[in-house]
Structure 1
Amino acid sequence: MPDSSKIFTYAVDGLAYTVTVYEENGAFFADITVEEGAMDVNAVYFGDDDFSGSSETLSGPLNMNGTRLDGEKVQWDEATKLSDPGLGPEGEDKETYLQTGDTMTVALDIESLDEVDIFGIRATSTTTDGGSIKRVSDDPEEPEEPEEPVYEKLFFGEVFSETGDPLGGTFILAEEPDPNPYSIPALPEGTEPTFDNYLSYFLSDDIGGDLSAVQSVVFYGSGEGGAQEELFRIDAPDGGFQSADDLLAAYDDALDGAGDLSGMDLMAALSLDDQAGAVPEAEDDLDTDGFELV
């Protein structure tokens, strides 16, 4: 998963593409994806938004001479050749020839995403009227942060029955009910009920949770018809969770396995077929016999 990224887009009649520049594990790359049409990407150019100084260029048909941005001549900081113009004997199988849905990844010799504010592509064999392009994209879009899932209740379980029912541990609610006859802990008022916040509160002095004793974390939310039910659970590895980071990593792995989803779609993807029965809708219906409520 990329640590951070910038997204450049370009579209003309017959051709549309997206360039995602990103950092991953300390290295930098550009993913060039054709959304519509086709092109043979022969060279890429990029630079920051300071157009002073000399400009990098490639000779012959790979140059970007004459390219301007908002009427100003572009100064390129880097230029990289990817292939010679023409499909040659490889035809459409040429590595740099991209058609709708294809993506090519190019490594970038930079130390920060701040070095890339404009991105240029020199391409031939394009599905545009002219058959080739010298295109500049700027004003990169910042990708939207995915919506963090929220939960109505979590159970940090230390003891479970043979069938997986909670027997001992700590329930934490998203909001404290009124009345709260069983004094079940709830997140502080105004706290978003994300997993990070539940975990922080469980480990806080207010709760004093012992993560090493947790055998499984059970997540609850609204199921079909609005009834509260178990959505999924994360079981501790042999030896238990050694740190909060271990548990957060296991949670991230669970979300990654669910794909690019959010909200109820994510909850449905994470739900398990063998999950426990629905949790009572009202706190008054909770049977505390056999539970250790902290």
Structure 2
Amino acid sequence: MPETSKIFTYAVDGLAYTVTVYEENGEFFADITVDEGAMDVNAIYFGDDDFSGSSVSLSGPLNMNGTRLDGEKVQWDEATELSNPGLGPEGEDKETYLQTGDTMTVSLDIESLDEIDIFGIRATSTTNDAGSIKGVSGDPEEPEEPEDPEEPTYEKVFFGEVFSDSGDPLGGTFILDEEPDPNPYSIPALPEGTEPTFDNYLSYFLSEDIGGDLPAVQSVVFYGTGEDGAQEELFRIDAPEGGFQSADDLLAAYDDALEATGDLAGQDLMAALSLEDHAEADPEAEEDLGADEFELL
């Protein structure tokens, strides 16, 4: 009897779901059911167990860059965007927002269930601690422990276009995780409730609200709290010659920087990413600079 369905499961603290992939009347579907918690399903990814070749990826915050299964980097064959991150005015009534017991059915453009051995879900507004997931599930016949590395968050990111000879920021765009009160220099901050991951910082920088010029960015500088409790530069990513030509180029460089540190997370990851080239520099926070010492674009 031919196989008519495959079941994939995924679970982390605060969130669990099941995906049933099946054939019905010659068509293929995936039923996504939340078993515990809630999530906004923004995109689905799938592929077979052959990880050779190029990998399909959606842009910006819908990417699944850096995902692994059993320690091996996943190569995705297909990806489908379902919704933009954020619940928006619909709130919990958003079609792709699933809570415990809810099921959403997605049509799949495949010809055989053999095309799906790995299933991935990119979701935000999730009930796990990280607030988002890049969920990866293997074929249930060969169960794998799902990995859910916590995405680093940052207190501030600087998309820098001009730097001094010593590397201090002079011109560009600072974006904060939360808007301070007062905010004398009108420094942009992520929309309220937005998780301060780099995906979200980059998406906001390129949004109509900021209108960032990505090819003009010479270096992206990440800030967080140091060991002494003061805000400090954690690390930076320098643009290649000619600049970053797309958001995917910058996200790939960011993922390479994180991947080079291994399976670290949180402040351990940040410590590992502190590059020697900038270890001796103690950049001034933009709050302490005079209005004539840097330019916010």
TM-score interval (norm. to shorter)? 0.5 to 0.7
CA distance in 2, matches of 1:266, 1:204: 28
Can you give the 5+ residue segments of structure 1 that lack an aligned partner in the other structure? 8-20, 33-109, 120-139
- 1:118 shift after superposition: 3.0
Paired residue secondary structure (1:252) = helix
Q: Is the counterpart of residue 113 in structure 1 residue 117 in structure 2?
A: yes
TM-score of the two chains, using structure 2 as the length reference = 0.54
- 1:26 shift after superposition: 6.3
1:277 corresponds to: 282
CA distance in 2, matches of 1:31, 1:208: 39
1:24 corresponds to: 51
Paired residue secondary structure (1:188) = coil
CA distance in 2, matches of 1:241, 1:171: 18
Q: Is the counterpart of residue 221 in structure 1 residue 224 in structure 2?
A: yes
CA-based RMSD of the aligned residues comes to: 2.9
Q: Is the counterpart of residue 163 in structure 1 residue 166 in structure 2?
A: yes
Paired residue secondary structure (2:115) = coil
Q: Is the counterpart of residue 256 in structure 1 residue 259 in structure 2?
A: yes
Conservation of the 8 A alpha-carbon contact between 1:258 and 1:270: yes
Q: How does 1:95-110 map to 2 (within 5 A)?
A: none
Can you give the 5+ residue segments of structure 2 that lack an aligned partner in the other structure? 1-7, 11-47, 55-68, 72-113, 119-137
- 1:279 shift after superposition: 3.7
Conservation of the 8 A alpha-carbon contact between 2:222 and 2:236: yes
Q: Is the counterpart of residue 211 in structure 1 residue 214 in structure 2?
A: yes
Conservation of the 8 A alpha-carbon contact between 1:228 and 1:278: no
Provide the aligned length of Structure 1 versus Structure 2: 177
CA distance in 2, matches of 1:163, 1:272: 15
CA distance in 2, matches of 1:250, 1:284: 28
Deviations 1:189-245 (A, max 9, x none): 000000000000000010010001100000001111111100111111011111111
TM-score of the two chains, using structure 1 as the length reference = 0.55
2:125 corresponds to: none
CA distance in 1, matches of 2:144, 2:115: 20
CA distance in 2, matches of 1:242, 1:284: 30
- CA gap of 1:148–1:23, structure 2 versus 1, over 3 A, is farther
Paired residue secondary structure (2:236) = strand
Conservation of the 8 A alpha-carbon contact between 1:218 and 1:233: yes
**Percent identity for Structure 1 against Structure 2:** 73
Give the number of the structure whose alpha-carbon radius of gyration is greater: 1
Paired residue secondary structure (1:170) = strand
2:181 corresponds to: 178
Shift >3 Å, 4+ stretches: none
Conservation of the 8 A alpha-carbon contact between 2:117 and 2:139: yes
Paired residue secondary structure (2:276) = coil
